[in-house]
Amino acid sequence: MTKRFTKPANIRKAAAPKWTQKQEEDKRPRYGNGNLYQSTRWIKCRKGYIMKHPICEKCRLIDITVEARVLDHIIPIRQGGAIWDRENWMALCDECHNRKRQKERYGKVMPSKPNSKGELIPVDRWAEY
């Protein structure tokens, strides 16, 4: 006669870990943290905007012709700037984009106003800040 193995009654199956709020947030698209720029929508919008504005918009003001390579949010997303509003976009060359980012890092803020959705867009896209 063979003896069957049975589980002792006091051994329980390990409970599945519960999702924390942080893990739930990680499942959502994170537009301010980099995932926006890899999204299909952004890639298509960027390509279309750069095709319509192939010259850096800042350099063009001073009669310099430099290829635009970056589609920049004039009012940064982390400061409440509109993600998809074209009034908040500007085609820039690498040098102008880096200069603008440097100013933003040191606290310079572009004058802004809310759009119809309450997101911020620039008051004057050509204003120096």
Q: Say what the pLDDT of residue 41 is.
A: 92
Residue 15 lies in a domain: no
Tell which residue, 84, 93, 69, 78, has the closest CA to residue 39.
84
Alpha-carbon distances, residue 91 vs 59, 77, 80 (angstroms) = 10, 16, 19
Give the per-residue SS3 of 95-111. HHHHHHHHHHHCCCCCC
Q: Say what the pLDDT of residue 25 is.
A: 47
Residue 88 lies in a domain: yes
Residues spanned by the domain of 51:
31-122
Tens of pLDDT, residue by residue over 3-13, are: 665 655 555 55
Residue 69 lies in a domain: yes
Q: What percent of the chain has pLDDT over 90?
A: 40
Report the pLDDT averaged over residues 117-127: 81
Residue 92 lies in a domain: yes
Q: Say what the pLDDT of residue 121 is.
A: 85
Beta bridge partners of residue 112, listed in sequence order: 122
How many domains are there within the chain?
1
Residue 25 lies in a domain: no
Report the pLDDT averaged over residues 14-32: 51
